[in-house]
Structure 1
Amino acid sequence: MYGLVDANNFYASCHRAFDPTLEGKPIVVLSNRDGNIVARSNEAKALGIGMGQAFFETKDLREQHDIRVFSSNYELYGDVSARLMSVLTQFVPDVEVYSIDEAFLLCEDYVGIYPSYSGLGQDIREKMKQWLRLPVCVGFAPTKTLAKVANRLAKKNPELNGVCVLDSQEAIAEALEHFPIADLWGVGRKSAGKLKRNGIETAAQLRDVNDDWIRQTMTVNGLRLVHELRGLPCKLLEVNPPAKKSICTEPGFGQVIPDLTQINDALTVHLSRVCEKLRRQESLCGAVTVWLRTNPYRRTPGNGQPAKQYSNSVTVRLPHPTSSTLEIVKYAESALKAIFRFGYHYAKVGVMLTDLVPQDYRQAGVFVSGPDERLIKLSKAMDKVNKRYGHDTLRMASQLYNPEWPMKPQWLTPRYTTRWDDILEAK
C-alpha cells in the first residue's frame, strides 16, 4: 500500500504556523514580483480569488474582507518542507519527496503498530499539527495514482476527517465512479479534452477502456495510468530520485533594467546558484543557455504606449563538461553580450545548464584535455564556506556588492527558522 501525504494550502499554512492570529483569515501569497496570486487559503478561495489572478484585480475584495497578503518566502517554505519530510521518516523509512508539500510513503509493512491505515493517517495528521502546526491530508491505496485519488477525496470530503483509505475493490470502484478525468494525476488539459470528446469523463470510464486504444491515444504513459487505476503498480517509489537532466532559473528583476552591467551581475548571481545545485547532485554540465526578455505588459512612461519588446536566447556548448562556476561564467557572459541589445528595458535574465553527466565523467577532446580539476575543487570549497557562513560570503568578482536589480517584495515575512535575527521572541 502507498500513502500520499499532502500539506493543505502549504504556503498559506506556513505563515499561519508562525502567526496564530491568521487562523480563519483569508490569505493570499504572491509571485516573485508581487504581481500574481500563487497560493490561497480556503477562505480566500471561497471569496472567488483564482490561482494566478493578477493581484491588482483583488483590491476591492481585500478591502472588504481583510485579506492578508504575503510575498513568497521561499527560504521559509523550503525549510518547513524539509522538516515535514523529516517527520514523515519517523513513521515509515521509505519516503519519496514528490514536491515541496507532497510525499509518497511505502507503508504496508509498517502499519502493524496501528489498528488500521486510517489510524496511521490520523497519527500523521496529529503529529504534523502538533509539531509543525501544518494541516495535512493522507490518502492510502494500492498504487501511487490511486493514492493521489484518495488524497484528493480526503481534502474534498470533510466527513473523512482528512484521511481516505482505498483498500478494497469496492472502495476503489466507488471512488472512481464519479472522479473527474481532469483531476487525475498525469492527465493534462489537452488529454482531458481528447478523452472527453471520446465520451470518457470519469476515472472509472478511463479504467475500463481498451489497452490498444489508450496506447494510441495517450502513449505508453497513458497505459501505465490505466493499469494503476486497475490496481497494478507501474510507478514505483523513488526514495533516491534520479539526478535532474537540466537545471535552470529565471527570477525577475525588481524593476526593468536597461544596463548591461547590472544584467551581467544578475546573471552571475543566478548562475552561481544553479552551479551549486549542479555540484550538489554531483553532476557536470556540457552546455549553458542564456536568455533575455523584456516585460510584454510594460507601457512607455509619458505617452502610455506599449514599450518596445525584445527577447532572445543562445546556447553555448562547453569544450568539456564541468561544474566550475568560474569556467561556466566565462561562456555565459559571452552569450549574454551576444544577445544584449541597447535601447530596451529588460525584465528577466535566465540561465539553464543542460547536457548533464555524472561528476566522474572525463573524456579528453582533440584540443583540450578536460576540465580544470583545480577550479572544480575551488568551487566546492566556496560551497562549503557559503553553506556555513551564508550565501555570497565568497562570490565572483563580477557580482556587485550592493546591486539594484533584485526583487524587493513588499510583504515579505521573516525567515523564522533559518536566520538568527528572525527567530520569534517570546514576550
Structure 2
Amino acid sequence: MIALVDCNNFYASCERVFRPKLHGVPVAVLSNNDGCVIARSQEVKDLGIAMGTPMHHLPREAFERGLVLCSSNYELYGDMSARVMATLREFTPRVEPYSIDESWLDFAGFDRTALPAHCQEMHRIVYKWTGIPVSVGVAPTRTLAKLANRHAKRHGATRGVFVIEDAGSPDTLALLERTPVGEVWGIGGRVTPRLYEMGIRTALDLARANPTWIRRRFSVVVERTARELAGTRCIDMNDEHDSKKLIMTSRSFGQMTAERRDVEEAVRAHASRGAEKLRRQQSLACSLRVTLKTNKHMPHLPQDHDSITVALPCPTDDTFEIVRTAQEGLRRLWKDRGIRYQKCGVQLMDLIDVTGQQLDVFQPPQPAADRERTDRLMSVLDQLNGQYGRGTVTVGVQRQAAAWQLRSNHRSNRWSTRWEELPTVRLQ
C-alpha cells in the first residue's frame, strides 16, 4: 500500500500556525513582489477569487469581508514543510517528497487491517506537532492514492483519511465512476478531449479500457495511468536521495534596475544559495550558467535576454569558488547601456556525486588539507545560517533595501527560522 499525504491549503495554513486570529478568515498568499494570488484558504475560494488574480484586481467586497493578504514567505514554508516530513518519518521509514506540500509514503509490510487506524493517528499527530492540517489517501497504486486523497479532502466524514483497500471493490468502482477522467492524475488537458471522443469520460472507463489499445493511441504515460486505476502498480517509489541534474536559483527583482551593483549582489546571493543546495544533496558542480532578463512585457524599453555558461576550475561545492565564477560570468555578460533588468539567475550544471569525483590526469589533485579546510569552512557557514537564519553570513554585502530585493509589503515573520522574529508572549 502507498499513501499520498497532502497539506491542506499549505501556504495559508503556515500563516495561521503562528497567527491564530487568521483561523476562519479568508487568507490569500501573493506571488513574488506581491503580484498575484498563488495560494488561497478555503474562505478565499468561497469568495470566488481565482488563482492568479492580480492583487490590484481583488474586489473591494473581499476586503470588506475580512480578506487578509500575505506576501510569500518561502523561508517559513520550507521550514514548516521540513517539520511535516520529519513527522511523517515517525510513521514509516520510506517517505518520498513530491512537492513542498505533498509526500508519498510506502507502507509495504504493514498490516492492512491496522493501516486505517495508523493513518488516522498520523493525521492527528502531524496537526498536533506542526499545526498543519493534512489529507491522507491510501491505495495499492499512486494513481488510486491520488484519488483517495482527493476524496479525503472533499468529504469531512472521512476525518481526513481515506483508504482504498481493493481496486475492484464496489466502493472503489463507484468512486471511479464519479470521477471525471480529466481530474485523474496524469491525464492532461490535451488528452481529455480525445478520450471523450472515444467514449472514455470517467476514471472507471479508463480503468476498464484495454491498456495496449490506450498505449497505441496515446502514450505509455496514459497506459500506466489506466493500469494503475485498475490496481496494477506501475510507478515505484524513488530514492529520495537521488541527486538533481541541475540546480537553478532565480528570482525577479523588487524593481527593475540598471545598476551593476544591484545585479552583482543578486548573482552573489543566488550563487551562494545554489552552493548551499549542492552541499545539502552532497553533489559537486562542474559548470554554471548566469542569466540576465529584462521585462518582456515592456517592449518600449531596451530588451536583453542573455546567458553565459562558465566552467568551474574543478568540480566543487565551495561557495567562494562558485560565487567567484558566477561574478566572472556576469562581468562577461554585462552591457553598459543603461538596460534595466528585471531578473537574474544562476544555474549549477553537470552535477556529480561528491564521492564519485573523477580526477583530471593533467591537473594535480587538491591537497587533502586544503579540501578538509574548505569542507570545515562550508560546514560552519551552513551551520551559522541554519541556526541564526539564512543570510546571517554572506559572501559580500547584501543590502536589504537594494532594488533586487523582493517587495514583500505583507510578509509575516519568519517565526521558526529567525531569532529576531520569534513570537513573543506578554504576561498580563
Structure 1 and Structure 2 fold alike (TM over 0.5): yes
Do the aligned partners of 1:385 and 1:394 also contact (CA within 8 Å) in 2?
no
- CA–CA distance in structure 2, aligned partners of residues 369 and 71 of structure 1: 49
Q: Name structure 2 gaps, 5 residues minimum.
A: none
- CA–CA distance in structure 2, aligned partners of residues 47 and 379 of structure 1: 54
Do the aligned partners of 1:11 and 1:39 also contact (CA within 8 Å) in 2?
yes
Do the aligned partners of 1:324 and 1:376 also contact (CA within 8 Å) in 2?
no
Once the two structures are superposed, residues 305-346 of structure 1 have per-residue CA deviations (whole angstroms, 9 ceiling, x without a partner) of 843332122223445433233333343223323333322211
Specify the code of the residue in structure 1 equivalent to 2:329: A
Once the two structures are superposed, residues 43-82 of structure 1 have per-residue CA deviations (whole angstroms, 9 ceiling, x without a partner) of 1011111112211110424333210111111121112112
The aligned counterpart of 1:348 is 343
- CA–CA distance in structure 1, aligned partners of residues 142 and 241 of structure 2: 15
- CA–CA distance in structure 1, aligned partners of residues 369 and 394 of structure 2: 17
Specify the code of the residue in structure 2 equivalent to 1:335: G
1:324 aligns with 2:318: yes
The aligned counterpart of 2:232 is 232
Do the aligned partners of 2:250 and 2:346 also contact (CA within 8 Å) in 1?
yes
Specify the code of the residue in structure 1 equivalent to 2:238: E
Deviation at 1:372, TM superposition (A): 7.8
Deviation at 1:116, TM superposition (A): 4.3
The aligned counterpart of 1:6 is 6
SS of 1:336's equivalent? helix
SS of 1:251's equivalent? strand
Specify the code of the residue in structure 2 equivalent to 1:38: I
Alignment of 1:206-355 (within 5 A): 206-238=206-238, 240-298=240-298, 306-318=300-312, 320-341=314-335, 342-355=337-350
Does 98-107 or 187-196 show the bigger shift? 187-196
- CA–CA distance in structure 2, aligned partners of residues 61 and 370 of structure 1: 66
- CA–CA distance in structure 2, aligned partners of residues 400 and 166 of structure 1: 52
The aligned counterpart of 1:118 is 116
1:382/1:32 CA distance change after superposition, 3 Å: farther
SS of 2:126's equivalent? helix
- CA–CA distance in structure 2, aligned partners of residues 107 and 338 of structure 1: 52
- CA–CA distance in structure 1, aligned partners of residues 73 and 332 of structure 2: 34
Cα-Cα RMSD: 2.6
Deviation at 1:371, TM superposition (A): 6.6
Specify the code of the residue in structure 1 equivalent to 2:65: H
Do the aligned partners of 1:291 and 1:313 also contact (CA within 8 Å) in 2?
yes
- CA–CA distance in structure 2, aligned partners of residues 99 and 211 of structure 1: 29
1:77/1:400 CA distance change after superposition, 3 Å: closer
SS of 1:167's equivalent? coil
1:369/1:335 CA distance change after superposition, 3 Å: same
Q: Tell me the TM-score normalized by structure 1.
A: 0.89
The aligned counterpart of 1:386 is 381
The aligned counterpart of 2:136 is 138
SS of 1:137's equivalent? strand
1:206/1:241 CA distance change after superposition, 3 Å: farther
The aligned counterpart of 1:361 is 356
Specify the code of the residue in structure 2 equivalent to 1:144: R
Do the aligned partners of 1:320 and 1:370 also contact (CA within 8 Å) in 2?
no
The aligned counterpart of 1:301 is none
Specify the code of the residue in structure 1 equivalent to 2:302: K
Q: Name structure 1 gaps, 5 residues minimum.
A: 299-304
Task: Say how many residue pairs are matched.
Answer: 418
- CA–CA distance in structure 2, aligned partners of residues 376 and 408 of structure 1: 39
SS of 1:93's equivalent? coil
Specify the code of the residue in structure 1 equivalent to 2:135: C
Does 85-94 or 357-366 show the bigger shift? 357-366
